[in-house]
Amino acid sequence: VDLLKNIKLKDKIKIYINIKGREWTNPKGIVRYFNSIQGWKIEHYSLSSDDFDDLPF
């Protein structure tokens, strides 16, 4: 909740997350898969010239 104190509706933001997946077998032997998404950093988003200098190759 503290991560959201400076964020307003319609603000453009960048969210850093961790994604974890796990397998669970219920008592009937049926296997299920779950994903957890944990946000750990939120910052205001702005386009800068540095964003275009990072080529993916």
C-alpha separations of 9 from 16, 17, 20, 46, 57 in Å: 19, 20, 28, 16, 35
Give pLDDT, residue 30: 98
Contact 42, 13 (CB under 8 A): yes
Which pLDDT belongs to residue 49? 55
pLDDT tens, per residue, the chain with 57 residues = 677 888 889 999 999 999 999 999 999 999 999 999 999 898 888 766 555 566 666
CB 13 within 8 A of CB 52: no
Residue 52 backbone phi and psi in degrees, to 5: -95, -10
